[in-house]
Amino acid sequence: MAENQSEMAPPSKPGAKPHPFRRALIIVAVVVAAAALVAGGRWFAEYLSTVTTNNATIQADIVSLSFQVGGTIQSILVADNERVEAGQALLQLDTRDYDIALAQAEAALELARRQASAAEANVNTTTTQSGAAELQAQGAVSSAGAGVAVAQADVEAAQSALASSRAKLAQAEAQLELAERELKRTQRLADEGVVATQQLDETETRYKVAKAAVEAARMDAAAQETRLEQAKQRVQVAEAQRTQSKGTVQTAAAARDQAVAQRKQYEASLAQVAVAEKNVEKARQQLAYTSLRAPASGLVGDRGVDVGQLISPGQPLMALVKDNLWLVANFKETQMKRIKPGLPVDVTVDAYPGKVFKARVDSVSPASGSMFALLPPENASGNFTKVVQRISVKIVFEPEALEGYEGLLRPGMSVTAKVRIR
pLDDT tens for 229-247 read 877 787 777 777 767 766 6
pLDDT score of 18 more than 60: no
Backbone torsions φ then ψ of 130, nearest 5 degrees? -65, -35
Which residue ranges does the chain devote to CATH 1.10.287.950?
Answer: 99-287
Long-range Cβ contact pairs of 380-387 (< 8 A, separation 24 or more) = none
List, in sequence order, every residue forming a beta bridge with 73; answer none if it has no partner. Answer: 93
Residue type, 381: S
Predicted structure pTM score:
0.59
**Non-local CB neighbours of 156 within 8 Å, separated by 6+ positions:** none
Q: What is the spatial distance between Cα 219 and Cα 382, in angstroms, rounded to a whole number?
A: 138
* More confident call, 252 vs 17: 252
Q: 340: number of CA atoms within 13 Å, CB side? A: 4
Q: What is the spatial distance between Cα 362 and Cα 59, in angstroms, rounded to a whole number?
A: 14
pLDDT score, position 201: 74
Q: What is the spatial distance between Cα 329 and Cα 338, in angstroms, rounded to a whole number?
A: 15
pLDDT score, position 170: 83
Q: What angle do CA 416, 366, 420 make, to 5 degrees?
A: 35
Give 158-197 pLDDT, tens digit per residue. Answer: 778 778 877 887 887 788 788 788 878 878 777 777 777 7
The b/e string for 350-366 (b: 16+ C-beta within 10 A; e otherwise) is eeeeeeebebbbeeebe
Residue type, 326: W
Is 50-94+299-420 assigned to CATH 3.30.750.200? no
Question: Alpha-carbon dihedral of residues 394, 396, 402, 408, nearest 10 degrees?
Answer: 30
- Contact between 393 and 357 under an 8 Å Cβ cutoff? The reply is no
pLDDT score, position 249: 63
Give 102-139 pLDDT, tens digit per residue. Answer: 999 999 999 999 988 888 887 777 766 666 555 666 66
Question: Alpha-carbon dihedral of residues 319, 324, 325, 326, nearest 10 degrees?
Answer: -120
Q: 9 pLDDT band (50/70/90 cuts)?
A: very low
Q: What is the spatial distance between Cα 117 and Cα 265, in angstroms, rounded to a whole number?
A: 11
Long-range Cβ contact pairs of 109-114 (< 8 A, separation 24 or more) = 109/273, 109/276, 109/277, 109/279, 109/280, 111/276, 112/269, 112/272, 112/273, 112/275, 112/276, 113/273, 113/276
State the fold for domain 99-287. Answer: Helix Hairpins (1.10.287)
Q: 251 pLDDT band (50/70/90 cuts)?
A: low
Which residue ranges does the chain devote to CATH 2.40.30.170?
Answer: 50-94+299-420
- Contact between 94 and 71 under an 8 Å Cβ cutoff? The reply is yes
